[in-house]
Structure 1
Amino acid sequence: MNRAIIIILDSLGLGASADAHKYGDQNADTFGHIVEACEAGLANNTQRHGPLKIPNLLRWGLGAAAVGSRKHKLPLATHLNVQGAYGHAVEVSSGKDTPSGHWEICGLPVPFNWGTFPQQEDCFPTQLMQDLLVQGQIQGTLANKHGSGTDILAEYGEQHLRTGFPICYTSADSVFQIAAHEETFGLERLYDLCEVAKKLVDPLNVARVIARPFKGTCNADFERTANRRDLTTPPMGRTLLDHIQDQNGCVVSVGKVGDIFAHKGVNYTVKADDNMGLVDQLLDQMKQVKEGLLFVNLVDFDSKYGHRRDVAGYANALEEFDARLPQIEAQLEPQDLVLLSADHGCDPTWPGSDHTREHVPVVFYGHHCGLPVQAFDLGERTTFADMGQTVASHLGLVSLNYGIGCQLN
């Protein structure tokens, strides 16, 4: 079996999809708006300044993919010395959430709507919260509303330390999140409480319960830790990951990928504190695993910068990742195919703090079925599943149930 590497730049959308108006995202464009903000000098901070500097990502084809998606120019040398096959993909799944995006990439679109909670105070059903108190053996909860993680900690973190009550909140996605102090509340206790919560929200068709541990002593130094855990409803069908394991191939999750698939089709998971740590883990796994799939999710783009509407931070993170691409290239072997994509958008210039309904990049680099990937435009793919189908072909697997493979050489 050959080797494939999928790198998800979590939330790096390439412009609003045709149905984005249904989600209130009609002019969202995560990558394009970051590029424009940098060019205008609106994304400067102590770590970066000026136009976006991502020469390696442009060489792979990311800029060319973005121009094809948004249909007009960007202030970048997008088509100079491109070495990868590039395009963009449209999501057919109903939502703009993390599981749906990842599953569709792996050949399993999600045609139904996940359950969500109303945009109001006390957004969770009364019976759900009563059952959580009894079955979770807690005396009370805080928040019970929509909010971003940073804002929620600022508003309720100190009260949590005083009372010991876990903080329960949600977003526009199908998710029930519980934040608690990693030391005073206890990490294992938080995980156990999330297990209880997942059973309680399953009848509501809620996709995920997320444990959000944090540390610190007050608002000034609260910080979420790397011990996040996503409890996800298992995929309702077979994915690329299952087909790889059918052929005795190895699937390695780098980051939260294993959680997203409820560990179905995953051999093992390695984690790290941030994007650069995850790149380190990928490089280490590339030395050890020579066949199958290395599947990486670089979550900081979404959780630290997209949701927090931090344009400068997002731009800096892209530049940091770009600087690591030569290290990844140096460890590629002649049978390797790399896919660079995203699972949804999260435009840091867009109002609110939620994901945005956008096209995602489709960038292939390396070798496909024994031949070098050629630099050309793959155009618009009508489903994320085309990416999984292409990877399946590279690995010599049977065809997935959805998607049309991309011609790369």
Structure 2
Amino acid sequence: MKFKRVFLIVMDSLGIGASPDANNYFNAGVPDVNANTFGHIAERMDLKIPTLEKLGIANIAPLRGINPNPKLASYVTKISEQSLGKDTMTGHWEMMGLYITKPFQTFTDTGFPVELIKELEEKTGRRVVGNISASGTEIIKDFGEHHMKTGDLIVYTSADSVLQIAMHEEIIPIKEQYRICEIAREITMKPEWKVGRVIARPFLGSNKDNFKRTSNRHDYALKPSDKTTLNFLDEAGFDVIALGKINDIFDGYGINKFSKTVSNADGMKQITEWAEKEFRGLCFLNLVDFDALFGHRRDVEGYGKAIEEFDSQLPLLMEKLNEDDLLLITADHGNDPTYAGTDHTREYVPLIAFSKQFKSGGNLPVLKTFSDIGYTINKIFNTEKPKFGKSFLNDLK
């Protein structure tokens, strides 16, 4: 099949059942062997997702109240991850052809070293409070009012390899917040402290009861260690359009057009607008709300409603697609809101492939690496291929 454009949507954290190696990964001391983000949400609430149902989401794995489609016009399967880790960067980088064989360093149990914090304080001229593993919404409740009085930086981490800094937009202007995070990024590039991401986490509000994070989040990620699918497309002259936090995840490497999003709904609006424009190549969207607003906060109902909202927005995008377009829908890891702890879960992720060209549909074999997605995209555009993965293009008919 010939495709002019590929639209790739990552439903951030919407896993679909524990991976074969889930026993090696833990949440609050509990192995991820029983995690199932999509499945457990479906068990807890009556999901109304007619579009995903028609596309065959329940053909991938059983979902309570969702019926398998016996007459699929799309192709579906699930994919396991080969890289070591279950974080955003690891999942996205593998998707584009890189394997992470040494997990990014984390500081979940101890906080960041005294030496790192001291250097951050010296170079920013501000004291640090927090320096613990915490929920972003909870830590601003704990330290937000103190921060407003003193200007101290609220530093925290999670189970991921990440240093996050929460700052009030009316106390520290956004431009200065970003400068502070750039300093933190430079400090954490040292081998002994290297973390995957530094994230600016701006918030507003007058007290702990109404603090709310804003959409001015900015991620400072490591540059990928090698070329990815994105580089091969860019070097061959194709459009590589990154929406949401995709540009941050890849540090802009191999991306030639990008824009941020303020919500899942905004992301779907933007990708639908791109479907109406002329381009040749890849449009790559991450829908972060699933993970950031609902998975980590263990909000089952909120997560379920977000899935339903996404489902209601898909038909307009699909309507705008041309005959020679391919839509791929997947995820980057799990984040089961019913599970122990508040962090990601090691899970299979779904894959749905849809095109108006398809004469039929069905189940693809279970894929063994996220890299098959990037490899297939490079195969479509006849560019250089990543080191890892293989194409499932010949299975699409």
Q: What's the TM-score, normalizing by structure 1? A: 0.92
Instruction: Quote how far apart the aligned CAs of 1:201 are.
Output: 1.2
The residue aligned with 2:377 is 391
The residue aligned with 1:100 is 90
In the alignment, the residues of structure 1 paired with residue 311 and residue 187 of structure 2 have an alpha-carbon distance, to the nearest angstrom, of 42
CA separation of 1:329/1:132 partners in 2, compared to 1, >3 Å: closer, same or farther? Answer: same
The residue aligned with 1:10 is 12
The residue aligned with 1:127 is 115
In the alignment, the residues of structure 2 paired with residue 177 and residue 59 of structure 1 have an alpha-carbon distance, to the nearest angstrom, of 40
In the alignment, the residues of structure 2 paired with residue 81 and residue 315 of structure 1 have an alpha-carbon distance, to the nearest angstrom, of 26
Instruction: Quote how far apart the aligned CAs of 1:33 are.
Output: 0.2
Is the contact between residue 233 and residue 262 of structure 1 (CA under 8 Å) also seen in structure 2? yes
In the alignment, the residues of structure 1 paired with residue 99 and residue 334 of structure 2 have an alpha-carbon distance, to the nearest angstrom, of 17
Deviation sequence 1:87-110 (CA, Å, 0-9, x none): 011100101010110011111121
Is the contact between residue 364 and residue 373 of structure 1 (CA under 8 Å) also seen in structure 2? no
The aligned runs of 1:347-358 (5 Å cut-off) are: 347-358=336-347
In the alignment, the residues of structure 2 paired with residue 80 and residue 119 of structure 1 have an alpha-carbon distance, to the nearest angstrom, of 48
In the alignment, the residues of structure 2 paired with residue 283 and residue 346 of structure 1 have an alpha-carbon distance, to the nearest angstrom, of 26
Structure 1 runs of 4+ with >4 Å offset:
none
Answer yes or no: is 1:31 the counterpart of 2:26.
no
Instruction: Quote how far apart the aligned CAs of 1:126 are.
Output: 0.5
2:165 to 178, 191, 195: 178
The residue aligned with 2:279 is 290
In the alignment, the residues of structure 1 paired with residue 321 and residue 90 of structure 2 have an alpha-carbon distance, to the nearest angstrom, of 29
Instruction: Quote how far apart the aligned CAs of 1:82 are.
Output: 2.7
Gaps of at least 5 residues in structure 1 are 39-50, 68-72
In the alignment, the residues of structure 2 paired with residue 164 and residue 377 of structure 1 have an alpha-carbon distance, to the nearest angstrom, of 55
How many corresponding residue pairs?
386
Instruction: Quote how far apart the aligned CAs of 1:136 are.
Output: 1.5
Q: Secondary structure at the match of 2:241?
A: strand
The residue aligned with 2:364 is 378
In the alignment, the residues of structure 2 paired with residue 358 and residue 310 of structure 1 have an alpha-carbon distance, to the nearest angstrom, of 19
| Corresponding letter in the other structure for 2:187 | L
In the alignment, the residues of structure 1 paired with residue 201 and residue 117 of structure 2 have an alpha-carbon distance, to the nearest angstrom, of 18
Answer yes or no: is 1:304 the counterpart of 2:281.
no
In the alignment, the residues of structure 1 paired with residue 212 and residue 273 of structure 2 have an alpha-carbon distance, to the nearest angstrom, of 27
In the alignment, the residues of structure 1 paired with residue 113 and residue 278 of structure 2 have an alpha-carbon distance, to the nearest angstrom, of 46
| Corresponding letter in the other structure for 1:383 | T
Is the contact between residue 9 and residue 342 of structure 1 (CA under 8 Å) also seen in structure 2? yes
Q: Secondary structure at the match of 2:286?
A: strand
Q: What's the TM-score, normalizing by structure 2? A: 0.94
Instruction: Quote how far apart the aligned CAs of 1:12 are.
Output: 0.2
In the alignment, the residues of structure 2 paired with residue 83 and residue 251 of structure 1 have an alpha-carbon distance, to the nearest angstrom, of 27
Gaps of at least 5 residues in structure 2 are 27-31
Is the contact between residue 31 and residue 66 of structure 1 (CA under 8 Å) also seen in structure 2? no
Answer yes or no: is 1:113 the counterpart of 2:113.
no
| Corresponding letter in the other structure for 1:159 | H
Deviation sequence 1:115-158 (CA, Å, 0-9, x none): 111414xx1100000000111221x1111100111111121111
The residue aligned with 1:56 is 51
Is the contact between residue 373 and residue 408 of structure 1 (CA under 8 Å) also seen in structure 2? no
Is the contact between residue 58 and residue 82 of structure 1 (CA under 8 Å) also seen in structure 2? no
Instruction: Quote how far apart the aligned CAs of 1:272 are.
Output: 2.5
In the alignment, the residues of structure 2 paired with residue 181 and residue 289 of structure 1 have an alpha-carbon distance, to the nearest angstrom, of 40
| Corresponding letter in the other structure for 1:22 | N
Deviation sequence 1:10-39 (CA, Å, 0-9, x none): 00001111211211211110000000111x
The residue aligned with 1:42 is none
| Corresponding letter in the other structure for 1:399 | K
The residue aligned with 2:64 is 74
In the alignment, the residues of structure 2 paired with residue 372 and residue 18 of structure 1 have an alpha-carbon distance, to the nearest angstrom, of 31
In the alignment, the residues of structure 2 paired with residue 75 and residue 329 of structure 1 have an alpha-carbon distance, to the nearest angstrom, of 24
| Corresponding letter in the other structure for 2:364 | L
In the alignment, the residues of structure 2 paired with residue 147 and residue 335 of structure 1 have an alpha-carbon distance, to the nearest angstrom, of 46
CA separation of 1:118/1:277 partners in 2, compared to 1, >3 Å: closer, same or farther? Answer: closer
In the alignment, the residues of structure 2 paired with residue 230 and residue 373 of structure 1 have an alpha-carbon distance, to the nearest angstrom, of 41
In the alignment, the residues of structure 2 paired with residue 230 and residue 57 of structure 1 have an alpha-carbon distance, to the nearest angstrom, of 30
Q: CA RMSD in A?
A: 1.4
Instruction: Quote how far apart the aligned CAs of 1:163 are.
Output: 1.4
In the alignment, the residues of structure 1 paired with residue 284 and residue 373 of structure 2 have an alpha-carbon distance, to the nearest angstrom, of 13
Instruction: Quote how far apart the aligned CAs of 1:80 are.
Output: 4.4
Is the contact between residue 9 and residue 285 of structure 2 (CA under 8 Å) also seen in structure 1? yes
In the alignment, the residues of structure 1 paired with residue 71 and residue 168 of structure 2 have an alpha-carbon distance, to the nearest angstrom, of 49
Q: Could you tell which deviates more after superposition, 296-305 or 395-404?
A: 395-404
The residue aligned with 2:29 is none
1:333 to 319, 322, 337: 322
Instruction: Quote how far apart the aligned CAs of 1:373 are.
Output: 6.5
| Corresponding letter in the other structure for 2:117 | M
In the alignment, the residues of structure 1 paired with residue 210 and residue 233 of structure 2 have an alpha-carbon distance, to the nearest angstrom, of 43
Is the contact between residue 63 and residue 76 of structure 1 (CA under 8 Å) also seen in structure 2? yes
The residue aligned with 1:167 is 154
In the alignment, the residues of structure 2 paired with residue 169 and residue 373 of structure 1 have an alpha-carbon distance, to the nearest angstrom, of 51
Q: Secondary structure at the match of 2:274?
A: helix
| Corresponding letter in the other structure for 1:282 | I
Instruction: Quote how far apart the aligned CAs of 1:202 are.
Output: 1.5
Instruction: Quote how far apart the aligned CAs of 1:399 are.
Output: 2.9
Is the contact between residue 4 and residue 395 of structure 1 (CA under 8 Å) also seen in structure 2? no
Answer yes or no: is 1:136 the counterpart of 2:124.
yes
| Corresponding letter in the other structure for 2:269 | D
